[in-house]
Amino acid sequence: MPLASSSDMGTPMTTAEFLGFTAQADGTHALNMTNQLLGGGSGSLFGGVGLAAGLIALEAATGQAPVYMTCQFASTISPPDELVIHTEVLAKGRTACQGRLTGTSGDRTILALLGATGDRREDLRGIWRTMPEVAPPEACEPLQRTQDSDSFHDHAEVRMARGMFGFAPEDAIGRGTASGDATTLFWTRMPNVSHDAAALALMADYLPSAVGNSLDKRTYCSSLDNTIRFVEPVEPDASSEWLLCESHIEFIAAGFATSQGFIWRRDGTLLASANQSMTAAIPRE
Amino acid sequence: MPLASSSDMGTPMTTAEFLGFTAQADGTHALNMTNQLLGGGSGSLFGGVGLAAGLIALEAATGQAPVYMTCQFASTISPPDELVIHTEVLAKGRTACQGRLTGTSGDRTILALLGATGDRREDLRGIWRTMPEVAPPEACEPLQRTQDSDSFHDHAEVRMARGMFGFAPEDAIGRGTASGDATTLFWTRMPNVSHDAAALALMADYLPSAVGNSLDKRTYCSSLDNTIRFVEPVEPDASSEWLLCESHIEFIAAGFATSQGFIWRRDGTLLASANQSMTAAIPRE
């Protein structure tokens, strides 16, 4: 499905439509990386795409809303590769299902995922995090990244509200400045894409940008995994309103780093928490 | 391997020895649930045992220290079942490996795991959490749980330093009282077991005990997963010194809950972070 079609229609795409991720006759789902627009800037697949695809496939298999999912990046793809997601429901229940998914390209294993979906009665409720105090997105400078090639980043707007966006080149306008600690806050949105559960998974892959902020230096990170946990079923936001990403680096040691964060609606509603482990090194140039 | 043998010898067991988890001729690892001592109190397998077994098996396959691992509990076993862990290395590198593991019992899939190991140069270092102020374990009352049957809990000592241990019966001595927020602190140790990476995985499965504290009521929780991320390779502690568990409940909604926490050495060294999603309900009695 062409990526640019929906803005012509004036209605936002679902994330599945944005990814061109479609059910196949054999029960799998597939997307074609026809160009760099699903890439992370280096030309290979943006990690959040894998997690988003897994969420869509498991929800399709179980008919229940996503509760959590973790995606391990064993390898990657680049244009013109196809990614096929195979879904295996390990435990199927009326109130919860658990699944294992595998992403392949030809005979290569690219992604390995685990996750759960659910439809349960709410006996108990409590949310103990509160949204940090933050300037509104209108008061924050847009991040402008000039890149050699098209990438996923062309679809997502970012505005730093606290700290530095560690993925952006040092001369990028709106990159921000290091906060002096391990916490960043930034607004993000995907215009023309409905902010559904899978869209949050795409955005969650921006949380490790806080590594560069924490060290106040450009850092080369390569994701091992990307994990997201939803507070409750996500009501898709067709207006693509700004979401706040709150990111904390827990530790960087022994060549690896761990980020932990939260995604908030602008009105202060907590939508999800997210964690990621990655390699961390000084770029060799 | 008999569980009680090592204290006779005066040297602590490794966690693999404690679990009786041994390499098989076909490349798998296996343990036999010969009695309730690997159970969680209800008679079925204590979830942390699955994560610990996965860590041991992947480290054996790659020869590298664990970086992170996530274990999904698709089903369970009870005595006299055998658990067999099958390890598949998806990406094998000199500095990092990624694996997928499956736990089976006969023809049933019990556990599905993903994880990574590594041996990398440390270019960069930063640890942004600090250990909370806490009373020493000697000043905290031992948790005494009188249970109908033997369980894993007979091997792990717990002393609450803040809040309530939500897994313990309401009349348990040393259970503590609810903190009024979503955070608990407790000391734990496994006498006669060396505190290695797999032992931390066992202890990490106590972190969701903060659910009961957060709501100040007994809550029925069933784990979906258990995820641990290590700061750096864990130096096994043969003296089984007390470890501090810091647990935060992020949210309870729509019938599910998420816990997030940290495991500290007594001297303030951060060893690991851990996350878990679970079902959460009022016990139906």
Q: Given an 8 Å threshold on Cβ–Cβ distance, is A225 in contact with B281?
A: no
pLDDT at res. A10: 65
Q: Are B170 and B242 in contact (CB under 8 A)?
A: no
Residue pairs spanning A and B at CB distance below 8 A: 206
pLDDT at res. A6: 42
The larger pLDDT score, comparing residue B145 to residue B55, is at B55
Contacts of A227 in chain B (CB under 8 A): 70, 227, 275
pLDDT of residue A285 exceeding 90, the answer is: no
Give the B window 168-187 contacts with A, CB below 8 Å.
181-182
A139 touches chain B (CB under 8 A): no
Q: Which of B269, B264, B251 is nearest to B211 (CA)?
A: B251
pLDDT of residue B10 exceeding 90, the answer is: no
Contacts of A224 in chain B (CB under 8 A): 67-68, 96, 98, 116
Task: Give B233-268 pLDDT, tens digit per residue.
Answer: 999 999 999 999 999 999 999 999 999 999 999 999
Q: Given an 8 Å threshold on Cβ–Cβ distance, is A100 in contact with B121?
A: no
Contacts of A118 in chain B (CB under 8 A): 254-256, 279
Tokens of A169: 């080149």
> What domains sit in chain A, N to C, each tagged with a CATH number?
13-119+140-281 (2.40.160.210)
Span of A18-32, A141-155, A225-239, B174-188 with lowest mean pLDDT: A141-155
pLDDT at res. B92: 97
Q: Given an 8 Å threshold on Cβ–Cβ distance, is A114 in contact with B114?
A: yes
pLDDT at res. B285: 62
Q: What percent of chain B has pLDDT over 90?
A: 84
B219 touches chain A (CB under 8 A): yes
- The whole-chain average pLDDT of chain A stands at 93
Task: Give A8-47 pLDDT, tens digit per residue.
Answer: 456 889 999 999 999 999 999 999 998 888 988 777 999 9
DSSP state of B200: H
DSSP state of A59: H
Q: Which of A284, A261, A265 is nearest to A274 (CA)?
A: A261
Contacts of A90 in chain B (CB under 8 A): 72, 74-75, 109, 112
A36 touches chain B (CB under 8 A): no
Mean pLDDT of A88-105: 98
Res. B5 pLDDT band, cuts 50 70 90:
very low
CA distance A226 to A258: 10
A135 touches chain B (CB under 8 A): no
Least CB–CB distance from B98: residue in A121, A224, A280? A224
CA distance B73 to B230: 21
Output Rg (C-alpha) for chain A, integer angstroms. 18
- Residue of chain A minimizing CA distance to B219: A124
Beta bridge partners of A109: A104
Beta bridge partners of B13: B193
Nearest chain B CA: its distance from A94 CA (Å): 13
Q: Given an 8 Å threshold on Cβ–Cβ distance, is A250 in contact with B233?
A: no
Task: Give the ipTM.
Answer: 0.95
Best residue in B62, B68, B71 for a mutation probing chain A (most A CBs within 10 Å): B68
A248 touches chain B (CB under 8 A): yes
Mean pLDDT of B129-158: 92
Q: Given an 8 Å threshold on Cβ–Cβ distance, is B253 in contact with A118?
A: no
- Residue of chain B minimizing CA distance to A114: B72
Mean pLDDT of B107-134: 97
Tokens of A135: 């300037």
Q: Are A160 and A174 in contact (CB under 8 A)?
A: yes
Beta bridge partners of B256: B253, B279
- Residue of chain A minimizing CA distance to B274: A275
Least CB–CB distance from A116: residue in B122, B260, B277? B277
A207 touches chain B (CB under 8 A): no
Output Rg (C-alpha) for chain B, integer angstroms. 18
DSSP string for A181-232: SSEEEEEEE-TTB-B-HHHHHHHHTTGGGHHHHHHTS--EEEESEEEEEESS
CA distance B275 to B259: 6
